[in-house]
Structures are given as structure tokens and as C-alpha cells.
Amino acid sequence: MGKLSVLVLVAIGVALAEGVNQYRSRDEFRQIWNYTDFPDPQSPNEEERLRCHRHSISSVCNPNNIISKTDADAIDNEITKIYKETQCSCHECYKNKHGYAIRVALINEFEKFRKNAPLSKKELLWEAKMFTYLLSQKWRMQGSCNETVLIFYSKNDNVLFTLTREIAGKKLFDRDIARISMAVRSYFVNSDDTRSIGDGLLELIRRYRLIFDGKYQEAFKSVSGTKP
């Protein structure tokens, strides 16, 4: 595949076990997803969470097994720490004693709005922007005061995309996302390397945490001697 495409967007603004297993199996081999069909890992419905390959309430939806359960668990743990230990700049965060909320969506490929037409890199990134924004709306990611971040990775499209809502975007700027995404791009060179993709996502999230904590120099350092 070609180089990883990085796009930054600051957006303002129950079944029997057998049936569930069949649903998960079907989803696992599904190649193309529409945002309307994509499951929610924080749904109270167990079947929907299982479609994300998550048993409990989670911040990660991984229906195509892009990463391992172990890596998904590690990402969940890091996201939980960020939520509990960071401070976001709105009254509701202070009142409810929590910080920034991050969620992760991983798929083989996303359905494009422009059908049956070759896409330029710019057009592909526009498609990713729209898919991610609409998914954030479906997942009701307004949070307490738009202090939320959605990380989207599409394996076959070779696209890594981060969406920040208004309050999160006041701390994690678009230029920060671009620099960090470039710094960790080596993890995503081989899209079939499940372990490397998991490590890359975890590193990306840890660096976002450093930005939230004001540790900019650490956040922008290179990986394996490669300049961001």
C-alpha cells in the first residue's frame, strides 16, 4: 500500500448466544461498512457490543479484528485513565470530575458517498471526514461539553483520521494531530501486522494524553529515530 493518509478535522459543532456468534462471524468477514450499520461499543445492548468484539462497555469497536483483544483492552485502559486523570476546560468537566473522552473505530474499509468512481487522495480524505463525523453523531459523542475525540482507522483505505469536537480541539490542535500522526506512521506501514497497528494506536493515544497534560516535547518526539 501507499503512504498512510493522515487527515485532521476539528468538528464543532439481544439475542441467543448462537445468534450473536453468527452475527459476529458475519461482521468479521465484512469488507465494507456504512456508518449507519457500524455497531456501538458503548451500547447497553450486549449483542451490539459483541459485534465490536467487546464484551463489556468499551471505547473501542473492532468488528474486523484489526487489532487483538489484548491490544483493544490496553487501549481501553489508556482511554479510561485519560478520562479520569486529565482536566478539560469546561464547567461540566470540573463539575463531574472527568477529563477528555476518546473512542476508537477500526474497520476493513468504509463505504464511500461517491459511488463507482476513482477517488483522489484529497477526495478520499473528504470521504473519511464525512464518515467519521457522521459516526460520531450516531454514537452521540457530544459528551458533557464536546470534550470528545474519535480516532478512525480504515485498513484497506490506508487512512488514519482523528476528529476532535470543540472543547477537545481547544487543547489538541489540528497541527498537533498532524505531527503526532506523522510521528507514529511507521506503525501503520504493514496493515496486515495486527500487533503493530495495535501498538501504533496505543502510542497515538498516549501522545494525545501528553498534549492534554501540556507535555508537548514528549508528544512530538520521533519513533525509532524517524523525524516527525
Tell me: the pLDDT tens digits for 169-222?
999 999 999 999 999 999 999 888 999 999 999 999 999 999 999 999 999 987
pLDDT band at 83 (very low <50, low <70, confident <90, very high): very high
Q: Is pLDDT of 106 > 70?
A: yes
Contact (CB, 8 A) for 92 and 144: yes
pLDDT value, residue 14: 37
Contact (CB, 8 A) for 222 and 116: no
pLDDT band at 116 (very low <50, low <70, confident <90, very high): confident
Work out the average pLDDT over 49-58.
96
Alpha-carbon distance of 160 to 181, in angstroms, equals: 8
Model pTM? 0.85
Three-state DSSP state, 25: helix
pLDDT band at 121 (very low <50, low <70, confident <90, very high): confident
Q: Is pLDDT of 15 > 50?
A: no
Work out the average pLDDT over 128-148.
94
Backbone angles phi, psi at 223, to 5 degrees: -110, 130
* % of the chain with per-residue pLDDT over 90: 70
The conformational region for residue 116 under phi > 0 = left, psi -120 to 50 = alpha, else beta, is left
User: What is the residue type of 1?
Assistant: M
Backbone angles phi, psi at 55, to 5 degrees: -80, -45
Q: Is pLDDT of 17 > 50?
A: no
pLDDT value, residue 223: 62
Q: Is pLDDT of 2 > 90?
A: no
pLDDT value, residue 27: 72
Which CATH number is associated with domain 5-13+59-219?
3.10.310.50
Of 79, 77, 75, 19, nearest to 48 by C-alpha is 19
pLDDT value, residue 26: 64
* Position with higher pLDDT, 12 vs 97: 97
The answer to which of 7-21, 71-85, 126-140, 145-159 has the lowest mean pLDDT is 7-21
